[in-house]
């Protein structure tokens, strides 16, 4: 992770095309270093418990989610596998319902509303499970947040 330090050009210097290219290269290098560290870190992604398939193990803690085929478990693993990144509503719908509802494909508006309601309820249940799960230094919800995506068309999970 020590390679993920961003080196900015001198603040007194004006930004030229060349300095912006250098800055862009530094940003790419830092992004790659962080992504590689996350991929190599054990325990950063949740796994199913080998003894109880109704539990996920993450950060050394058991989180009771229900069957791996339940919608709650599918949404949790989808968000946790992409920690820090937005997951679009269409992808969430495909993972949970096996289909998507969208303006583009001409789905009735009532189907879109019902789908959003189901997803909001599942996110609420996951937040409740995280609040009920204890870590050594507090609740799991103190360290993980599920927020609405930046484009307001999905969700993302973030660690703090």
Residues 100-149: tens digit of each pLDDT: 776 666 667 777 788 888 899 999 998 888 888 876 666 776 777 888 88
Name the residue among 9, 155, 138, 154 with its Cα closest to residue 61: 138
Does residue 26 sit in the same domain as residue 51?
Answer: no
Do 67 and 127 lie in a common domain?
Answer: yes
Residues 55, 34 share a domain = no
- The CB density around residue 50, as the number of other CB atoms within 10 Å, is 8
Q: What is the pLDDT of residue 3?
A: 47
Domain encompassing residue 121: 47-159
Shared domain for 73 and 145, answered yes or no, is yes
- 7 with 32, same domain? yes
- Same domain as 6, residue 60: no
Indicate if 102 and 144 belong to the same structural domain.
Answer: yes
Same domain, 70 and 127: yes
Note the pTM of the prediction, 2 decimals.
0.66
């Amino acid at each position: 992770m020590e390679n993920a330090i961003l080196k900015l050009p001198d603040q007194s210097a004006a930004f030229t095309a060349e300095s912006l290219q250098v800055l862009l290269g530094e940003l790419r290098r830092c992004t790659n270093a962080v992504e590689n560290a996350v991929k190599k870190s054990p325990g950063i992604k949740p796994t199913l418990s080998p003894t109880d398939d109704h539990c996920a193990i993450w950060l050394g803690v058991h989180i009771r989610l229900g069957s791996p085929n339940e919608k709650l478990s599918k949404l949790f693993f989808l968000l946790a596998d992409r920690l820090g990144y937005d997951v679009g509503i269409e992808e969430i719908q495909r993972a949970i319902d096996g289909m998507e509802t969208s303006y583009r494909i001409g789905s009735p508006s009532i189907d879109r509303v019902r789908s959003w309601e189901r997803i909001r309820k599942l996110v609420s249940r996951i937040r409740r499970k995280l609040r009920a799960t204890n870590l050594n230094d507090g609740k799991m919800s103190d360290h993980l947040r599920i927020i609405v995506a930046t484009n307001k068309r999905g969700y993302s999970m973030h660690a703090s």
